[in-house]
Structure 1
Amino acid sequence: MQIDLIKGHGSGNDFLLIDEITNAYSFSEGERAKLATLLCDRDSDLGADGILFIMNSDQADGKMRVFNSDGSEASMCGNGLRLVARYVCEMKGLNEATIETMKANLKVSEQKDIYPDVITYQVEISPVSFLLEDLPLKLNQANLLNEKISELSQELTFTALAVPNPHLISIVNTEQLQSGVQKVISEKVNNPNQLFPDGVNVSFVKNLAEGSIYVNTFERGVGFTNACGTAMSASSLVTCLQELNNVEEIVNVYNNGGRVQCVVHEDDENYSIDLIGNATYMYQAYVDVDLESETFSVSSKEEFTEQSTYEKLQADAQDFLKKAGL
């Protein structure tokens, strides 16, 4: 089969976009997983953190399904949602839209550029739950808010929440961030274990200054990524809960792929987060795929010019982190 796709990224978290609205594709569930493991292979001619399937919806302007590079399906993806938001809004001539995801219909909108000439979208991250059964996390308590998990660390404290992807967040100092302990913990909870039967995204968060944080994430099904949108959103919420930042105010979130902004909203102890950042297209490609033999070839590739502009944002973000000692 021949597939027309776009490769894009949000904060360096890169995806292949496959449009099922205007193309007559019909994939089985097994084929979606196979496409993800095949096309997202970093040793291939494409490579990505996952595939975003953009589909028709009977209850929203479009629907997003997210398959990670290991073939597993994610219930949400904040960085990917910005790309889907852009694609659907541009296709339908909209400035704002609603996108159906696995757990909720989420509002998205085009925003003023987060950096000169960097196309920017805002997406809603919700619902938020602190119930451990929603991750799930197997502890004999209802929730975990800035507490230790003895099986993981005698030193670090963690907060667990679902947004709706499951996240384990620890606010750390520079030494802890650079120690390598995050890799050890992340691999433990994403291999067979008694705590997280379905695995979990693990983020270490360093507070930089009021209104600025750094987030490093080991993403379930992917590994360490340049950025994870739901992790940055969840981390911003956790810093507000610990009074390092404030609700209803912009939090600049730095990551290995650049910078985004988050705004945490609270309504009678119910939370949602706005995630604001780039939606950058890298190239469009036509790919000939043979799923039986698990092979593919790229028949053509046309580069976009947006990446060079985004790299200026990325360079500024890296300079900021260097000055902060990271």
Structure 2
Amino acid sequence: MLVRFTKCHGSGNDFPLVDARDWSLSDGEWASLARVLATRDGPVGGDGILALVVGDEAAAFGMRMFNSDGSEAETCLNGLRCVARAGFAAAGVETATVRLKTSHAQVEHVGDLAPGVYTVAETAGPVSLATADWPIIGAPERLIDAVVPGLSSQRAFTAIAIPNPHLVTFVDRIDEAELVAVGEACEAAPAWLPNRANVSFVERRGDTTLFVRTFERGVGLTNSCGSAMAASTYAACLTGRVEFGREITVLNRGGLVRARAEVDAMVTLNGNATWEWDGEVEVDLASERAGEVTVLRRYDDEVAAWRAVTEEARPTAPA
């Protein structure tokens, strides 16, 4: 099949995005397509693949997101902003409800985060603290700043689903080797955590800034994870590190978002949806092989605008 796509990113979380509103792929075929296009040594590369799909009675359009290993995520907030941009253009709107795998989210095209940076506000939630929903076997009903039963780490984590599952811990300084070790333990789907989890180490930098580093389920160590930034913001408010209702800056290796968590367990992120280039490629799903990619268009101005944002944020990010 000939696949046309836009290579895009939200806060450095990069994806090929396809308009699949008239597609009819099976879940297995979607998984194959994700493994072909999103693998880092493949023709395109990314943290996963995004699909603009049809909505429902409550939503103007929908989104599906498959990780680079072929597994489907409940949501991806960095990816949602990119799908929202495509959906706005397709539907001729500037605000919408979006159908996700297990929930809905609100999105709106808002004023630029920085000059030349297309910006979307997205509101997701409500956050769930019920460990039975993951499930986390052997855990109490809620885990808030507590050691996780079954995990070898003695760090205190907060368990949050938004709706995909996150374990968030606050540290003085991020140790990536430790983060990878904890992330890989969760990625292995042990008996006590059958559906795996995203793991984030978070530095609090004053009253209005967090820095988040995430080992993402189905991806690994990533420059950015939107739902992790939302979960970390809510965890910071829940544990008294940040005030509910206050907008903060959340930094990551890919850039930044503005975030706000409310007492009603809803979280809003304002962040970029940046187009990098359009392309097309012939894909054989049965063999999971792809031909040569043809680049159809480049968005150099958008790439440069986001580069300016990351260069401004870089001095505050650890090496």
Question: TM-score, normalised to structure 2's length?
Answer: 0.95
- Offset at residue 154 of structure 1 (A): 5.7
SS in 2 for 1:8: strand
Aligned to 2:188: 191
Aligned to 1:180: 177
CA contact (8 A) 1:285 1:298 kept: no
Aligned-partner Cα distance in 1 for 2:65–2:241? 32
Residue of structure 1 aligned with 2:299, choices 279, 304, 307: 304
Aligned-partner Cα distance in 2 for 1:218–1:319? 22
- Offset at residue 297 of structure 1 (A): 1.7
- Kindly provide the amino acid, as one letter, of the partner of residue 216 in structure 2: E
Aligned to 2:218: 221
Aligned to 1:156: 155
Aligned-partner Cα distance in 1 for 2:158–2:65? 25
Contiguous gaps of at least 5 residues in structure 1: none
Aligned-partner Cα distance in 2 for 1:140–1:283? 45
Aligned to 1:11: 11
SS in 2 for 1:67: strand
- Kindly provide the amino acid, as one letter, of the partner of residue 73 in structure 2: A
Residue of structure 2 aligned with 1:242, choices 239, 243, 247: 239
Aligned to 1:39: 37
Q: CA RMSD in A?
A: 1.4
Instruction: Tell me the matched-pair count.
Output: 316
- Offset at residue 222 of structure 1 (A): 0.3
Aligned-partner Cα distance in 1 for 2:258–2:20? 30
- Offset at residue 25 of structure 1 (A): 2.8
Q: Find out whether 1:137 has 2:133 as its counterpart.
A: no
Contiguous gaps of at least 5 residues in structure 2: none
- Offset at residue 178 of structure 1 (A): 2.2
Aligned to 1:291: 285
Aligned-partner Cα distance in 1 for 2:277–2:312? 23
Aligned-partner Cα distance in 1 for 2:50–2:288? 19
Aligned-partner Cα distance in 1 for 2:70–2:123? 25
- Offset at residue 26 of structure 1 (A): 2.4
SS in 2 for 1:109: strand
Aligned to 1:109: 108
- Offset at residue 30 of structure 1 (A): 1.1
Aligned-partner Cα distance in 2 for 1:250–1:101? 25
CA contact (8 A) 1:7 1:15 kept: yes
Aligned to 1:201: 198
- Offset at residue 321 of structure 1 (A): 2.5
Structure 1 residues 299, 241: closer, same or farther in 2, change over 3 A? closer
Structure 1 residues 80, 258: closer, same or farther in 2, change over 3 A? same
Aligned to 1:316: 312
Question: TM-score, normalised to structure 1's length?
Answer: 0.93
Aligned-partner Cα distance in 1 for 2:293–2:154? 52
SS in 2 for 1:298: coil
CA contact (8 A) 2:210 2:251 kept: yes
